[in-house]
Amino acid sequence: MSKKYNVAVVGATGAVGAEMLSTLEERNFPFNDIRPLASERSEGLTVKVKGNSYKVQKLTEQSFDGIDFALFSAGAGRSLEFAPHAVKAGAIVIDNSSAFRMDKDVPLVVPEVNPEALKKHKGIIANPNCSTIQMVVALKPLHDYARIKRIVVSTYQSVSGSGHKAVTELAEQTNKLLTLQEITPKVYSQQIAFNCIPHIDVFLQNGYTKEEMKMENETKKIMDDDSIKVTATTVRVPVFYSHSESVNLEFAKEISPDKARELLSAFSGVVVQDKPVEDLYPMAINAAGRDEVFVGRIRQDFSVKHGLNMWIVSDNIRKGAALNAVQIAEKMI
């Protein structure tokens, strides 16, 4: 019999945590015990995995005895506090927060892109930001072929990236506005229904948001290439699931749209949807609930030498978070 693993999920009742549990089930991850952990608020709830019920336990420093993999998705604060305890207890931590992503001792991994980085881990492996993951999956085969010099990206990010509460807020706000009721934004500082908010995560001194700088810094780290220039504008749109990205690329050498389609079609985890005459291009509503990164609208950028434009869409909760974390665990076993 092959080995089975004990898996803890920290933040098990959150949007990403719940998706981690169902991803473990769907992918037949060889688990023995599942230990759902959350804050006191969720203590005593039960979650179901493969027909078995598991009681949600309160996250403490002692939560990780006997755990092989601890998947964290409960915010950077909790990761910083509790991941070291999980490591001390002998678990491998796969952390979905931003806490350790830029730490030199922590690999930042997208399994299709840089699996080799896993070898250098010291107990903690970081899951990149959702908007970065889907972009680098689509860029990796193109970078290997023609070396990316510069990326200009504008995002169209769904509310599920902000958790269950934001999904509810979009639905409720939309409903209230359509029935002429007053609304009070809570999760976001602005109305999200029927609006675009050019503001994700907090603003930094340089005028960029943290989300925008994540796309720059994490891309360089995952691609292991500091020479790639990145500039990002990240925007929240009234969509429930899946992030869309308008990505403009400048390469060191010639790469035609046909060549890009060929490389992307052959790359693991990517689906090319690019037949404009049949109205076929990636869209958020079609990517929701799917595992792949969808790429389309691939066309030559005539404004620069060796340029391409493309449109990249993926489910931010799946490939952008839960699936990528479980894939990392799979690579480790």
* 195 contacts a copy of itself (rule: CB under 8 A): yes
* 284 contacts a copy of itself (rule: CB under 8 A): yes
* Cβ 220 to a copy of itself shortest distance, Å: 11
* Cβ 48 to a copy of itself shortest distance, Å: 24
CA 322 to chain CA centroid, nearest Å = 7
* Cβ 181 to a copy of itself shortest distance, Å: 14
* 156 contacts a copy of itself (rule: CB under 8 A): yes
* 148 contacts a copy of itself (rule: CB under 8 A): no
* 235 contacts a copy of itself (rule: CB under 8 A): yes
- Taking the CA atoms of 330, 123, 71 and 284 in sequence, report the sign of the dihedral they define: negative
* 208 contacts a copy of itself (rule: CB under 8 A): yes
Joined together, the tokens standing for residue 329 give 């665990």
Q: Active-site residue 243, yes or no? A: yes
Check 121, 143, 243, 306 and give the catalytic one: 243
From the number of C-beta atoms within 10 Å of its C-beta (0-12, 13-18, 19+), residue 87 rates as: middle
- What single DSSP character describes residue 125? E
CA 230 to chain CA centroid, nearest Å = 18
185 contacts: CB under 8 Å, gap ≥ 6: 169, 173, 191, 192
> Taking a C-beta distance cutoff of 8 angstroms, is the pair 241, 231 a contact?
no
Segment near a copy of itself (CB under 8 A); pick from 50-58, 61-69, 108-116, 168-176? 168-176
84 contacts: CB under 8 Å, gap ≥ 6: none
Q: What CA–CA distances, in Å, run from 238 to 95, 157, 159, 166, 298?
A: 27, 8, 7, 10, 25
CB nearer a copy of itself, residue 127 or residue 242: 242
Segment near a copy of itself (CB under 8 A); pick from 36-44, 110-118, 125-133, 224-232? 224-232
Which parts of 288-307 interact with a copy of itself (CB under 8 A)? 296-304, 307
Q: Pick from 62, 104, 184, 277: which binds a copy of itself (CB under 8 A)?
A: 277
* 239 contacts a copy of itself (rule: CB under 8 A): yes
Q: Pick from 116, 122, 178, 268: which binds a copy of itself (CB under 8 A)?
A: 178
From the number of C-beta atoms within 10 Å of its C-beta (0-12, 13-18, 19+), residue 78 rates as: buried
Q: Pick from 44, 198, 289, 333: which binds a copy of itself (CB under 8 A)?
A: 198
DSSP per-residue string spanning 211-276: HHHHHHHHHHHHHT-TT-EEEEE--B-S-SS-EEEEEEEEESS---HHHHHHHHHTSTTEEE--BG
* Cβ 247 to a copy of itself shortest distance, Å: 9
- Which residues form the interface with a copy of itself (CB under 8 A)? 150-152, 154, 156, 170-171, 174-175, 178, 189-191, 194-199, 203, 206-209, 216, 229-231, 233, 235, 237-240, 244, 246, 248, 257, 276-277, 279, 281-285, 296-304, 307, 309, 311
Q: Which residues are catalytic?
A: 130, 243
